[in-house]
């Protein structure tokens, strides 16, 4: 894998099944932004997201663990992420969260993650 490719980084906790993040990835894909997924034993989604953002050449990271989905940017401290959602609350919200991560890259208006 080419580390220089500009992508959104998604850090996934080892215990989360790949199938649970399908809609999140589809949301990113529909917006046309590339994403790379890696697995980690870190349990804290805040740290996962923070480290993912530092690793991303686009500066946008997603951390998923313990039913939480966290989206942040390299410019924010680990304990103050930009967007948070409950994972698998509904396929729509998952898809929207993915789309929002991509829209942060594209600088386009975000969708509300709290409304169905």
Partner 1 sequence: MALIAGIDIGNATTEVALAELTADAAPVFVASSIVPTTGIKGTAQNTQGVFQALTIALDAAGRSLSELDLIRINEAAPVIGDVAMETISETIITESTMIGHNPTTPGGLGIGVGVTIGIDNLDRAAGGTPYIVVADRSHTFDDVANRINAVQGLVEITGAILQRDDGVLVHNRLVRKIPIVDEVSLVEKVPIGMLAAVEVAEVGRIIETLANPYGIATLFSLTSDETASVVPMARSLVGNRSAVVIKTPKGDVTERRIPAGWLQFIGDRTSEVDVDRGAEEIMRVAGTVGQIRNVRGEPGTNVGGMMEKVRVVMGRLTDRDPAGIEVTDLLAVDTEVPQKVTGGLAGEFSLEAAVGIAAMVKADRLQMQRIAHDMTAQFGIPVEVGGVEADMAVRGALTTPGSSIPIAILDMGAGSTDACVLRADAPARSIHLAGAGNMVTLLIQSELGLESAEDAENIKRYPLARVETLFNIRHEDGTVEFFDAPLPPHVFARTVVLHPDGMIPLPLRQPLEVIRQVRIKAKQRVFVTNALRALCAVSPTNHVRDIAHVVLVGGSALDFEIPQLVTRALGEYRVVAGRANIRGTEGPRNAVATGLVLAWEAQR
The least distance separating partner 1 from the CB of residue 71, rounded to whole angstroms, comes to 9
Considering beta carbons, is residue 13 or 103 the nearer one to partner 1?
A: 103
Helix (H, G, I), strand (E, B), or coil: what is residue 62? strand
Considering beta carbons, is residue 13 or 35 the nearer one to partner 1?
A: 35
What angle in degrees, to the nearest 10, is found between the helix axes of 22-30 and 91-106? Answer: 40
The least distance separating partner 1 from the CB of residue 6, rounded to whole angstroms, comes to 17
Considering beta carbons, is residue 15 or 90 the nearer one to partner 1?
A: 90
The least distance separating partner 1 from the CB of residue 30, rounded to whole angstroms, comes to 5
What b/e sequence results for 61-84 when a residue is b if at least 16 CB atoms lie within 10 Å of its CB, and e otherwise? bbbbbeebbbbbbeeeebeebbbb
Q: Order the strands of the 35-40 sheet from edge to edge.
A: 35-40, 8-13, 60-65, 68-73, 83-86
Question: Where does this chain bind partner 1 (CB under 8 A)?
Answer: 26, 29-32, 73, 75-76, 80, 82-83, 100, 103-104, 107-110, 112
């Amino acid at each position: 894998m080419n580390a220089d490719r500009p992508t959104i980084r998604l850090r996934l906790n080892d215990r989360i099944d790949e199938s649970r993040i399908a809609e999140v990835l589809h949301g990113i894909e529909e917006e046309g932004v590339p994403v790379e997924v890696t697995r980690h034993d870190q349990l804290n989604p805040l740290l996962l997201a923070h480290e993912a953002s530092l690793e991303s050449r686009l500066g946008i990271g997603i951390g998923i663990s313990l039913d939480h989905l966290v989206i942040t940017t390299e410019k924010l401290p680990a304990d103050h992420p930009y967007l948070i959602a409950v994972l698998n609350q509904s396929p729509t919200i998952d898809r929207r969260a993915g789309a929002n991560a991509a829209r942060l890259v594209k600088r386009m208006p975000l969708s509300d993650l709290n409304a169905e």
